[in-house]
Amino acid sequence: MPVSKKSAQARRPRKRERKNVAYGVAHIKSSFNNTIVSITDHEGNVLSWASAGNVGFKGSR
């Protein structure tokens, strides 16, 4: 059975927009188990984030 064009397009990821921001704010949340760093613009909209667990650190001391 052929796949409809509509469902095939719905699964395709959209291309990310690239935003040029002159200044940003780094928010760092460190807990006992993980550390999360979020970069936001001056309005508080999250532009990027990363966490130690997401990067691949497992059980490091």
Per-residue pLDDT for 9 more than 90?
Answer: no
Task: Tell me the pTM.
Answer: 0.61
The total number of structural domains in the chain stands at: 1
Note whether residue 34 is domain-resident.
yes
5 inside domain:
no
Hey, how many other C-beta atoms are within 10 angstroms of the C-beta on 24?
13
| pLDDT computed for residue 45 by the predictor | 92
Look at the chain and count its residues.
61
Q: 45 with 51: CB under 8 angstroms?
A: no
Q: Which domain holds residue 52?
A: 21-61
Residue 29: inside a domain, yes or no? yes
Q: What does the CA dihedral 54, 56, 59, 61 come to, rounded to 10 degrees?
A: -100
In a domain, 41, yes or no: yes
In a domain, 40, yes or no: yes
Q: Is the pLDDT of residue 56 over 90?
A: no
Residue 10 lies in a domain: no
* pLDDT band at residue 55 using 50, 70 and 90 as cut-offs: confident
